[in-house]
Chains A and B, each alone.
Chain A
Amino acid sequence: MESKTNGENNLRKKKRKPVWVFPWGYPEAFLIMAAVLLVGFAMEWVTPGDGLSAPAWPWNGVIGAALILGALILQLALPKNPVVRWLSQVPASMGAIAAVTLSVLLMGLFLQGQPSGISWIDRLGLTRMATSWPFLLSISWFLFVLAMTTVRRSIPLRGRNIGFLLNHLGLWIVIAGGILGSGDLQRVTMTLSDGQTVWYGTDRDGRTVELPLALELQRFHMEEYPPKMGMLDHDTGSLIIRGEQDLVEVERGRTGYMSGWNYEILRFFSESARIDDRFEPIHDIGAAPAAQIRAVHAERGDTVVGWITCGSFNMRHQFLELEEGRAMAMTVPQSKRYMSLARLYTQSGDNRMIDIEVNHPYSAEGWKLYQFSYDDRFGKWSPISIIEAVRDPWLPVVYTGFIMMLLGAVYLFWLGKDIGTELTQKTDGEDWNPGATDGQVALDSPPGSTETSGPAGTSGSTETSGQAAGTRQETEVS
């Protein structure tokens, strides 16, 4: 029986195997990939909308459980079914990888998040791929195939498959947790202003969401880098920058040369106000940096002394005119760090002072509080601070997947030393299409273990070789 199968395969090797005749291989994988994308775009076309979103708990949990249980049941009940077998092998995986690649590629080429104004592009969902049908179907197909592959390799659980499982299961957990978890992800912004207590946020659709905590802004604090100065070309309206000497930090005593002029910074105040035709240091709302400059033309020797400032929301900027079309100008300082000092009240009765800084969110009551924004018209004098509150109950799931993938990466690194040798042992020899090609080379298995096992070690060697012959032949078709 087995030898007949092999014989048939060898005979068919001369001709093309008709598509959809078992065993399936690459042609079937890519046809399904095309179908997934076409159906996705068709659904997008006939159901115009603002995009899809994952269902909230418990339905996202149900979908996740159904995917896992479905894969488990199929693998346990029908391990020898040719479709189940094909779903657990590289050709199906490559088809699923290709489907995801194509939909992500579209995401990478079209500007996302705002309609293009071209009706067919918008109607196909190309400007919001992450919430479109083609992406959803591609990633679902990918997750299903990945689940089938992973489950198959986990029965029975073997130590030598540890690298495979860390990478494949880890990736599955990350993607499934991320996509399903987005149904429970809440992101709201809280606009705080001095002395007001805020216990609600606004989500992206403008809905108000009540929070189990409240914030009362005590102070918004910003530190800035020193401003810079450069030579302004009045014709183009921009600074003349040819190298790093052309845009320098303003500090007292600095001397240098730019665009034909030698300069010296005589005085510098980081916060100052204009008084008549000079500037004096002052710490008050709307104070701006200012510097007094002496500029001497390098050849002619004419000297200009005067003040420059970048100004603020209530102070006009000021250039130092040097010659026709040329002036010294100061740039608006960039922020170095900014943070909100606020009092936090929680439902459980806590009441404490906290600070929320960029890159240093604060966790309370299952929410993470982020310094999000401020009123940039006022810069460091902003009267408001915007905090983003994020609740993501699936985060531990996704991070579990991350940790598995990190360990899997370490494993790949370790494997990297030898894998090439091992793989090329199969390529080495007189024949470049060695019959030993196993339909299911144990990807990520430790060296020395790849040569025999079929899917999860369940299949006998004859089945494997029959299947391998089929796979090889199909690949030649593709």
Chain B
Amino acid sequence: MTWSAFPAVFAVSAGLWGAAVAGVYLARLKPRAEIMGHLFFWAGMAVLTIFILGLWGSLDRPPMRTLGETRLWYGFFMPLIGYLTWRRWKLSWVLAYSILMAVVFLGINVLNPDVHDRALMPALQSVWFVPHVIVYIFAYALLAVSAIVAVKALYEGRRGQFRVKTITLADNMVYIGFAFLTLGLIFGAIWGKEAWGHYWNWDPKEVWALLTWIVYLAYIHIRAHRPDLVRPAMWTLAAAFVVLMVCWFGVNYLPSAQGSIHTY
């Protein structure tokens, strides 16, 4: 399966997910509609999964190299995290938002297909490639949800009262997301040692990955030290996602990134 099948895959998955969200909201009126939510959600995931596996096969390499390919994984993990959040904390809006984000990111791939290249340069042929990228994209997807949660918390604060449930969710997302960010950073360092001779080369992508890590570190410390300072913490969390996006794709456009080993 190649990228030429993607517009169809996108349409089917997005449609199924949309039906899933409808089912979830309908379940508030008719509890039996919840089963629709589960069924349509997993059907949409299955279609996307089959596409990713097919693409992996046709490329003869993990589809994790180009930005378009990482968006694909992002679109895979976002709904999954939204679904788990919904199951765990009964927050249907998180599912709806994460599916919306996934559809936006996958939609970029439909509108703006890069020329997808089969070739995988020797430095990327490593056992660390898959864990490094998967762990990072999973962290990005979680932290994206945390940013949405932060915005919701700020909105609630403006309306009068912060809701404990919302802030709790932000903290949970950040702790798990930060753990994955740390794994990604260290896997990358170990891989760097094998491929480029050193675990840290101050490559622009590394610099921004470090910045991203530090901003979430700051959030964790603000929360742990002063749980009562909700508003600054939530602003930090929302801003942290901006740094994350610079790291993910913005860095390619910065003057400092000329000659980066991470720009493909």
**Bound-state Cα–Cα, A40 to B122, Å:** 40
Contact of A187 among B4, B197, B218 (CB under 8 A): B197
- Is the Cβ of B225 less than 8 Å from the Cβ of A441? yes
Q: Are A358 and B255 in contact (CB under 8 A)?
A: no
Interface residues of B in 217-264 (CB under 8 A from A): 217-218, 220-230, 251, 254-256, 258
Digit string of B15-46 for contact with A (CB within 8 Å is 1, else 0)? Answer: 00000000000000000000000000000000
Question: Which residues of chain B come closer than 8 Å to A108, judged between CB atoms?
Answer: 204, 207-208, 211, 251, 254, 256
**Residue interface mask A405-439, B partner, CB < 8 A = 1:** 11011101101110111011011100011100100
Closest to A94 in B: B221
B116 and A338 contacting across the interface, CB-CB below 8 Å? no
| CB pairs A–B below 8 angstroms (12 shown) | A97-B214, A97-B217, A112-B204, A178-B200, A336-B120, A360-B194, A406-B182, A420-B168, A424-B171, A428-B164, A432-B230, A437-B228
Residue of B nearest to A439 (CB): B225
Instruction: Flag if B186 contacts A90 (CB, 8 Å).
Output: no
Residues of A within 8 A of B171 (CB): 416, 419-420, 423-424
A249 to B189, CA, bound (A): 33
The tally of CB-CB contacts under 8 A between chains A and B is 193
Would you give the 0/1 interface string for A168-198, flagging 1 where the beta carbon is closer than 8 Å to chain B? Answer: 0000000000100000010100000000000
Contact yes or no, B164 A443, CB < 8 A: no
The reply to whether the CB of B123 lies closer than 8 angstroms to some CB of chain A is: yes
In the complex, the chain B residue whose C-beta lies closest to that of A478 is B232
How far, in angstroms, from A372 to B196 measured CA to CA in the complex? 8
CB contacts (< 8 Å) of B258 on chain A: these are 111
CB distance from B259 to the nearest CB of A (A): 8
Instruction: Chain B residues near A94: list those with CB within 8 A.
Output: 218, 221-222, 225
Cβ contacts B119-140/A at 8 Å (1 or 0 each): 1111101100000000000000
Inter-subunit contact B197/A388 (CB<8 Å): yes
| B64 adjacent to chain A (CB < 8 Å) | no
Residue of A nearest to B194 (CB): A359
Which B residues lie at the A interface, using CB under 8 A? 2-4, 113, 115-116, 118-123, 125-126, 162, 164, 167-176, 178-180, 182-183, 186, 189-190, 193-200, 202, 204, 207-208, 210-211, 214-215, 217-218, 220-230, 251, 254-256, 258
Q: Nearest chain-B residue to A222 (Cβ)?
A: B122
Q: Which of A112, A178, A423, A441 has the most CB of B within 10 A?
A: A423
Known: A424-B164, A434-B228. A416 touches B176 (CB 8 A): yes
* Cα–Cα distance between A472 and B162 once the two chains are bound (Å): 20
Cross-chain contact A101 with B208 (CB below 8 angstroms): no
Evaluate contact between A424 and B198: CB separation under 8 angstroms.
no
A358 and B227 contact, CB distance less than 8 A:
no
> Which residues on A sit within 8 Å (CB–CB) of B189?
402
Indicate if the CB atoms of B254 and A420 lie closer than 8 Å. Answer: no
Interface stretch of the complex, out of A62-70, A207-215, A240-248, A309-317: A240-248
Q: Which residue of A lies closest to B157 (CB)?
A: A432
On whether the beta carbons of A423 and B227 are closer than 8 Å, the reply is yes
A400 at interface, CB cutoff 8 A: no
A419 to B207, CA, bound (A): 29
Distance A354 CA – B92 CA, assembled complex (angstroms): 58
User: Can you name the residue of chain B whose Cβ is closest to the Cβ of A339?
Assistant: B122
Chain B facing A: main interface SS: helix
> Which 5 residue pairs are nearest across A and B when measured between Cβ atoms?
A420-B171, A416-B175, A420-B168, A90-B225, A416-B176
Q: Is A335 at the interface (CB under 8 A from chain B)?
A: yes
Name the distance in Å between A464's Cβ and chain B's nearest Cβ.
13
Q: Across the interface, name the chain A residue whose C-beta is closest to B172.
A: A420
| Complex alpha-carbon distance, A426 and B221, angstroms | 15
CA distance A392 to B192 in the complex (A): 14
Complex Cα distance A162/B226, Å? 22
- The complex places the Cα of A110 from the Cα of B204 at a distance, in Å, of 9
Given contacts A359-B195, A428-B164, A443-B224, contact A402 B218 (CB under 8 A): no
Known: A94-B218, A359-B126. A249 touches B186 (CB 8 A): no
Give A395 to B197 CA distance when docked, in angstroms.
11
Partner of B162, one of A178, A372, A427, A443: A427
Q: Report A343-381 residues with CB < 8 Å from chain B CB.
A: 357-361, 368, 370, 372
Given A94-B221, A440-B225, A443-B224, 15 additional A-B pairs, CB 8 A: A90-B226, A107-B202, A107-B207, A110-B255, A112-B204, A243-B113, A335-B122, A392-B198, A402-B186, A402-B190, A405-B182, A408-B182, A409-B180, A434-B228, A437-B226
Q: Mark A390-401, 1 if CB is under 8 A from B, else 0.
A: 101001001100
Which residues on the A side are within 8 Å of B182 (C-beta)? 405-406, 408-409, 412
A100 neighbours in B (Cβ, 8 Å):
214
Chain A residues contacting B180 (CB-CB under 8 Å) are: 409, 413
Q: Does A266 contact B (CB under 8 A)?
A: no
In the bound complex, what is the Cα–Cα distance between A421 and B208 (angstroms)? 31
A158 contacts the other chain (CB 8 A): no
Q: A9 near B: Cβ within 8 Å? A: no
Looking at the assembled complex, report how far the CB atom of A389 sits from the nearest CB atom of chain B, in whole angstroms.
9
**CB contact under 8 A between A419 and B164, given known A101-B214, A178-B200:** no
